[in-house]
């Protein structure tokens, strides 16, 4: 029997898996990738009796691979907060799926474990830009208020590390970062003991954010803004976090960060207004490779010829 842990390489996916493996340690095969690499389940060659855990990747994008894994005789725990499409039913499949705008996978896992390792869920929620949800969970577990700010910074930095066209864009591979973090029962223990990892992430985050002075605003109204970033590793790393930062600064406005891809199209990150976390997935699913959730979604490869169409659809949706 083999164990597989399949997880998104961002803060939500990593923090969800940390909670599960602190509660139930396993020597598992880790399957993950950059933030946008979500067709991960097809990498699992499961056999009868294997146990597969899938965290924070859309079931809709992995439906065929899921059916293959189940047909092979493996059991699957699937926990996610993205649009799932049609949910399959199978005696070996357990699903924990909630697409609510204020929910993330780390929060779902925390509830599943009766908040046994909820400190990591707070970090995951902060990383997923769910500040209110993170703060609410912190209050419910009587988290020391002084830990909120460092937990928020850690969540943001873990999430920042996931963005890139390939693993070479990242400061740490998601597998490596997960294993570094898993050594500690709480994020506070990690922050105290492994200052080098956090310092490297935070320095990269601030350096890359400083480069956004090169951004070009293609659209800016009271309701919507579209920002263009150049084809560069720093721009790919900061694309999602920059969108989060912008929407926190202007919570009534929707934001789209469009990053050039070496003349081959654009990578798009959409953030719905914080005061109306709806529509990001609906906008992005109108284009090939688009998907996500109501509050935050993206398009992996928007053709150059469709940029103006995207801007028009985006602006009309949020005006």
Profile the chain (319 residues) by mean pLDDT over runs of 10 residues.
Answer: 97 98 98 93 97 96 96 98 92 96 97 98 97 98 98 98 94 98 98 97 97 95 97 94 94 97 89 94 93 91 96 96
Q: Quote the CA–CA distance of 216 and 213 in Å, as a whole number.
A: 8
Q: Which residues pair with 31 in a beta bridge?
A: 6
CATH topology of domain 215-318: Diaminopimelate Epimerase; Chain A, domain 1 (3.10.310)
> Is there a contact between 175 and 15 (Cβ–Cβ < 8 Å)?
no
Full-model pTM? 0.93
pLDDT at 262: 81
Q: Quote the CA–CA distance of 169 and 173 in Å, as a whole number.
A: 9
Q: Quote the CA–CA distance of 204 and 156 in Å, as a whole number.
A: 12
- Give the alpha-carbon dihedral of 234, 271, 201, 209, to 10 degrees: 50
DSSP letters for 128-158: TT-HHHHHHHHHHTT--GGGHHHHHHHHHHH
Taking alpha carbons only, the member of 91, 66, 86, 85 closest to residue 4 is 66
> Per residue in 225-252, is it b (16+ CB within 10 Å) or e — as a string?
bbbbbeebebbbbbbbbbbbbbbeeeee
pLDDT at 122: 98
- C-alpha 143: how far from chain center: 24
The H helix count followed by the E strand count for the chain is 12, 11
Class of CATH domain 3-204: alpha beta
Delimit the domains of the chain by residue range: 3-204, 215-318
Q: Quote the CA–CA distance of 15 and 109 in Å, as a whole number.
A: 9
């Amino acid at each position: 029997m083999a164990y597989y842990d399949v997880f998104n390489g961002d803060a939500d996916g990593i923090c969800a898996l940390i909670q599960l493996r602190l509660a139930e340690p396993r020597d598992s095969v880790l399957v993950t990738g950059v933030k946008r690499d979500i067709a991960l389940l097809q990498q699992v060659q499961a056999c009868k009796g294997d146990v597969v855990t899938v965290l924070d990747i859309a079931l809709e994008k992995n439906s065929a691979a899921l059916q293959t894994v189940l047909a092979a005789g493996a059991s699957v725990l699937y926990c996610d907060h993205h649009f799932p499409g049609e949910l399959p039913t199978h005696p070996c499949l357990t699903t924990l799926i909630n697409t609510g705008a204020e929910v993330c996978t780390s929060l779902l896992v925390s509830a599943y474990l009766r908040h046994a390792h909820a400190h990591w869920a707070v970090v995951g929620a902060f990383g997923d830009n769910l500040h209110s949800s993170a703060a609410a969970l912190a209050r419910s577990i009587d988290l020391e208020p002084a830990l909120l700010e460092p937990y928020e910074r850690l969540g943001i930095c873990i999430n920042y590390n996931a963005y890139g066209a390939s693993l070479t864009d990242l400061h740490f591979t998601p597998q490596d970062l997960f294993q570094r973090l898993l050594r500690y029962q709480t994020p506070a223990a990690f922050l105290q003991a492994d200052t080098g990892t956090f310092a490297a992430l935070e320095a990269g985050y601030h350096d890359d954010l400083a480069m956004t002075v090169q951004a070009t605003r293609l659209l800016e109204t009271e309701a919507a803004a579209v920002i263009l970033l150049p084809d560069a590793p720093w721009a790919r790393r900061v694309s999602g976090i920059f969108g989060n930062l912008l929407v926190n600064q202007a919570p009534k406005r929707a934001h789209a960060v469009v990053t050039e891809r070496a003349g081959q199209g654009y990578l798009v990150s959409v953030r719905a207004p914080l005061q109306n976390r709806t529509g990001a997935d609906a906008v992005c699913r109108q284009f090939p490779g688009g998907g996500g959730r109501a509050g935050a979604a993206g398009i992996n490869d928007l053709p150059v010829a469709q940029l103006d169409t995207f801007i028009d659809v985006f602006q009309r949706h949020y005006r």
